[in-house]
Amino acid sequence: MLTVERVIEYYFAVVIIVGGLSVPLGIKHTLRTWRALPEVGWMGRSFGMGLLALVLASFLELPILLLESWLALAFTAGLV
């Protein structure tokens, strides 16, 4: 049976994997289309803001990943 701690561990495992794959792919795409982004207008700015939000969310979740599971549960409940 799944416990709350196990669900949180699975959640952060998925976040780490998806974030770990999407950030380098986003950076690679940005570097490839760097010269074309100013011509696109709002799409370039929104893509950059989305990438910045993903990096910021990764930094916000880092303390939760480093804490023990019972403390991570309390910290996560405080964030929600």
Supply the pTM of this predicted model: 0.42
Long-range contacts from 71-76, C-beta under 8 angstroms, 24+ separation: 72/5, 72/8, 73/4, 73/5, 73/8, 76/8
State mean pLDDT over 47-70: 74
Kindly indicate the confidence band of residue 54, based on its pLDDT and cuts at 50, 70 and 90.
confident
pLDDT at site 67: 67
Measuring CA to CA, which residue among 57, 51, 56, 53 is closest to residue 30?
Answer: 51
Cα gap 80→75, rounded to integer Å: 9
Within 3-79, where are the H helices? 4-32, 37-40, 42-66, 69-79
Most confident of 14-23, 40-49, 65-74: 14-23
pLDDT at site 72: 66
